[in-house]
């Protein structure tokens, strides 16, 4: 025979940047492994240096980074980590970006604007990424921006499970904060047993980001506990106005549910002082101690990420994770 065969086994390696080490440790624990020790430090002028402590040649490497503030630094750090892995002969490199950077800039509203989400996908690919794992993209079409497989995970089973356990005895209604996310609300309604749907009619000024005005509730929420669902909470203005609109429409109460707790600017103060009884989020992004408040409940996304990593590594089915 003229062929050479090997008996080597596949090797899974998990590495992380510096933005959210607690999440990375949780994912590693759920996988039953440890993080590969990585030296990451800044130079005096702000440039980033990365070096891995062990060989990654032939390994299936997963690079985890949560893109919180300062987002541009964490994006650049992850790109450099990917480049280092590519030059160290990693067999496959998978980006784990629980909160995809620049996801809200997914299309042009006016002339001479960028499509920054597409740029992020191109940067990951050029750096050497073969695959992306992310959670609850702002818009699903971002999956098509990356020239390779994208595993788009949903936090719905995790969040809906908590809502059912704690509010299952109440008369519920699922409310979308705008008409554009009604499909997500439909999925929530199905997950909660077919409860009624409603949405908030709102207007937004494209010249003033992070600002919108909730006008009225479309749908019947009177006497019901409203589950107000969105993919993220940034400054909190939209979601708090939506909660007020629900109460003005005769709702019994409101709970706010979102995957990504961006919590910029006045978000914490707005949420804490809002009419919502509870604010439920996941830990896709780190929440600093000064941004935690009494109404806040933080659920771990680590088990979902770990299961996705396991399925990708074992060439299994990621779709099976979406079953509720």
Domain match, 28 and 136 both: yes
From the list 202, 213, 291, 295, the catalytic residue is 202
In a domain, 212, yes or no: yes
Domain match, 120 and 219 both: no
In a domain, 1, yes or no: no
CB within 8 Å of 274: residues ≥ 6 apart:
236, 240, 243, 244, 256
Domain match, 256 and 188 both: yes
Query: What interhelical angle do 182-191 and 156-167 show, nearest 10?
Result: 50
The count of other CB atoms within 10 Å of the CB of residue 39 is: 9
Domain match, 123 and 231 both: no
Instruction: Decide if 202 is catalytic.
Output: yes
- Residue 268 belongs to domain with CATH number: 3.40.50.2020
Question: For position 212, what pLDDT does the model report?
Answer: 61
In a domain, 6, yes or no: no
Domain match, 105 and 229 both: no
Domain match, 266 and 135 both: no
Domain match, 142 and 226 both: no
**SS3 per residue for the chain:** CCCCCCCCCCCEEEEECCCCHHHHHHHHHHHCCCCCCEEEEECCCCCEEEEECCCCCCCEEEEECCCCCCHHHHHHHHHHHHHHHHHCCCCEEEEEECCCCCCCCCCCCCCCCCCHHHHHHHHHHHHCCCEEEEECCCCHHHHHHCCCCEEEECCHHHHHHHHHHHHCCCCEEEEECCHHHHHHHHHHHHHCCCCCEEEEEEEECCCCCCCEEEEEEECCCCCCEEEEEEEEECCCHHHHHHHHHHHHCCCCEEEEEEEEECCCCCHHHHHHCCCCCEEEEECCCCCCHHHCCCCEEEECCHHHHHHHHHHHHCCCCCHHHHCC
Domain match, 199 and 227 both: yes
Question: For position 205, what pLDDT does the model report?
Answer: 62
In a domain, 5, yes or no: no
Domain match, 51 and 172 both: no
As for how many domains the chain has, the answer is: 2
Q: What is the pLDDT along the chain (324 residues), one digit of tens a residue?
A: 466 666 678 999 999 999 999 999 999 999 999 999 999 999 999 999 999 999 999 999 999 999 999 999 999 999 999 999 999 999 999 999 999 999 999 999 999 999 999 999 999 999 999 999 999 999 999 999 999 999 999 999 999 999 999 999 999 999 999 888 899 999 999 999 999 999 998 766 666 666 666 578 999 999 999 999 999 999 999 999 999 999 999 999 999 999 999 999 999 999 999 999 999 999 999 999 999 999 999 999 999 999 999 999 999 999 888 764
Bridging pattern class, strands 253-261 and 225-233: parallel
Domain that holds residue 139: 12-154+303-319
């Amino acid at each position: 025979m003229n062929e050479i065969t090997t008996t080597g086994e596949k090797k899974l390696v998990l590495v992380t940047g510096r933005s959210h080490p607690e999440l990375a440790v949780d994912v590693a624990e759920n996988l039953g492994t440890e993080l590969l020790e990585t030296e990451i430090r800044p130079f005096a002028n702000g440039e980033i240096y990365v070096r891995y402590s062990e060989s990654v040649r032939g390994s299936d490497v997963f690079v985890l980074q949560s893109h919180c503030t300062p987002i541009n630094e964490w994006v650049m750090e992850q790109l450099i980590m990917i480049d280092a892995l590519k030059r160290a002969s990693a067999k496959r490199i998978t980006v784990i970006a629980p909160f995809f950077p620049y996801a809200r800039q997914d299309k042009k509203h006016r002339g001479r604007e960028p499509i920054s989400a597409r740029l992020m996908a191109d940067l990951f690919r050029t750096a050497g990424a073969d695959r992306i794992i992310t959670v609850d993209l702002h818009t699903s079409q971002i999956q098509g921006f990356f020239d390779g497989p994208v595993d788009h995970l949903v936090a719905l089973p995790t969040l809906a499970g908590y809502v059912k356990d704690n509010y299952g005895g109440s008369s519920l209604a699922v409310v979308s904060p705008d008409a554009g996310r009604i499909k997500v609300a439909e999925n929530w309604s199905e997950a909660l047993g077919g409860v009624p749907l409603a949405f908030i009619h709102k207007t937004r000024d494209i010249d003033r980001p992070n600002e919108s005005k909730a006008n009225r509730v479309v749908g019947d929420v009177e006497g019901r506990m409203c589950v107000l669902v969105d993919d993220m909470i940034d400054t909190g203005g939209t979601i708090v106005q939506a909660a007020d609109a629900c109460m003005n429409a005769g709702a019994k109460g409101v709970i706010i549910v979102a995957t990504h707790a961006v919590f910029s600017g006045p978000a914490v103060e707005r949420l804490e002082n809002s009419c919502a009884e509870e604010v439920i989020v996941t830990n896709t992004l780190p929440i600093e101690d000064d941004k935690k408040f009494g109404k806040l409940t933080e659920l771990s996304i680590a088990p979902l990420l770990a299961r996705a990593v396991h399925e990708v590594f074992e060439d299994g089915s990621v779709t099976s994770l979406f079953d509720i």
